[in-house]
Amino acid sequence: MHAILSLTQLMEYLKEENCIDESIVNKVKIYLNNTQVDANIFTKSKESNRLKLSFMERARFAKNKVAERIFQIMATKNTTLCVAADLTKTTDILNLAEEVGPHICLFKTHIDIVEDFHPNFLKHLQDIAQTHNFILFEDKKFADIGKTVQLQYSESIYKISSWASLVTAHSLTGKGVLDAIRESEGLKERGVFLLAETSAASSLIDGNYTQATVKLALQYTDLISGIVCQSPLFVDQPGLIQLTPGVQLDSIGDTLSQQYNTPEHVVLERGADIAVVGRGITKSADPALAAQKYKELLWNAYKKRIV
């Protein structure tokens, strides 16, 4: 079955009929250009196609130690679920970690929104992570000059480098942010997820920025655990992990430009290795049950993908 018209042709037709104006046509063209996906990505050689390799097979390709450990955790626990703990009370965060711990590989925090922060909280969180075998992941999105990033990462009251094995960073300021993280004191094994695409509908990130981010990541494979994105950008890099936020059972958005995808869609169509789920779990009456459901749906989609 084939479409009678391409989307571009349809836009031109609607413009000729005065149904839409030139600005809409241009916006659609820009969107299509920035979201092109290689039609052959799912049929490339299995030896190098991360979408067709199992996580245990991919662990041997990982050059970053944290990425290697993530692959092993995912394979052992049968989970590709990352929970976004966007909560403001330490007790709520610790309770959530205990409840969802058996079902996740990553526990993502925003430490600077915690209203009653104290150092003992981090010790308790680390203990829970060790008990349930998941990795602590601070979504800081570092984006400043190198020296400032070092202070944000290793100093301040949070001392992120001492407890978070994973952090996020923008590529906006270039390699300086990665050099700063690499050279800072803290945990010996550390990893970074570079942000190449977002799930925000109003994002200013374009295709050129995304491609430049992937290129930068490939220059720092000892430090980079993976890339945050919404499409399968690096299928020939089985040692890197695709982290995709904006996952919910109901693929709808919110009033703040967040867009959601279903677990099956994000794995099978968008190439996600790990899916980030926030409110679908944290707002549930039973977070443990919700986490288990997401875990099973995501894992089943992953198994279908590698067949």
- Residue stretches of the annotated binding site for substrate: 86, 108, 199, 258, 278-279
Residue 257 CA to residue 235 CA, distance in Å, equals 28
How does 161-181 read in b/e, with b if 16+ C-beta sit within 10 Å? bebbbbbbbbbebeeebbebb
Of 139, 140, 273, 295, the active-site residue reads 139
Give Cβ neighbours of residue 54 (< 8 Å, ≥ 6 apart): 75, 306
Q: 168: helix, coil or strand? A: strand
List of long-range contacts for 117-121, beta carbons under 8 Å, 24+ apart: 117/90, 117/157, 117/158, 118/90, 119/157, 121/90, 121/93, 121/94
Which of 29, 141, 159, 179 is the catalytic position?
Answer: 141
**Three-class secondary structure of residue 11 per DSSP:** helix
> Rounded distance, CA 176 to CA 183, Å?
11
* The two three-digit tokens of residue 50, written as one number: 């991360």
Short-list 119, 109, 120, 95, CA closest to 278: 109
Half-sphere exposure of 180 (CA within 13 A, CB side): 23
Active-site annotation holds for 141 = yes
The DSSP secondary-structure symbol of 35 reads T
Please give the structure tokens belonging to residue 68. 């290697």
Q: Name the active-site residue from 15, 29, 63, 144.
A: 144
d(CA 73, CA 106): 9
Can 139 be counted among the known catalytic residues? Answer: yes
Catalytic residue set:
139, 141, 144
